[in-house]
Amino acid sequence: MRARPLSLIQDDLVDYDKAMERMVELVGQRQRDERPDTLWLLSHPSVYTVGRRTPVEHLPDPSHGIPVAETGRGGQLTYHGPGQLVGYLIVKLEESEGIVDYVREVELRLVDALGALGLPAERRDTPPGSELLTGVWTAETGRKIVSIGMRQSRGVTSHGFALNVDGNLEPWQWAVACGMPDVDMTSLKRELGAATLDQVRPVVATAFEASYGYGGAPPYP
């Protein structure tokens, strides 16, 4: 992978709708070259987000009380909640680079981060005719630990990844995640016995070459 230093923004819990409004602002600034490539690390209160291809039968039972938000990213249903590290990537692609190319890079950088945290992980190629295997999986147990859904507009990426760290995994079982009814979602805490967001954030930032020193910005209120 080539060097691609990013500006880092970090927050704690940010409401999903407010985060989407802010992300649109960041994308517009990057399209106008008013800010550098950016990684925004944060978490969301409990919410399911659905992509444009999510079937109705994959949605959760509303009796659980977790809201469902429509989103413009690629991919299908995913879950966000406390204890999950979300990374939004606002990156200007090169002319020869497509969104699929960048998603592969994101997968590999997260594989590196998980390895640095002591968890061997891998990306997977999608067999012909199968549901997309975008994301990152544990190498030893074969469970999915990172979900990825991205898009590009006028050459700039948006949305990003969700890495399960130490949050509640039960909401994943109340819907069909990633279009795969049999997927076993996991977390760093489940695989390693212990993990915290404070431990994981700097490792992920390092894997993406992200720092405040590169045009960094203060947290978003």
Task: Establish whether 178 is a catalytic residue.
Answer: yes
DSSP-derived 3-state class of residue 43: strand
Beta-bridge partners for 152:
157
Q: Which two tokens stand for residue 110?
A: 């997260």
Helix axes 197-207, 99-116, angle to 10 degrees: 130
Using DSSP bridges, classify how beta strands 121-122 and 136-138 pair: parallel, antiparallel or unpaired: antiparallel
Rounded CA-CA distance 96/123 in Å is 23
Please tell me which residue in 77, 121, 178, 210 is annotated as part of the active site.
178
Element (H, E) at 99: helix 99-116
Spatial strand order of the sheet with 47-50 comes to 68-70, 47-50, 78-80
List residues with catalytic annotation. 178
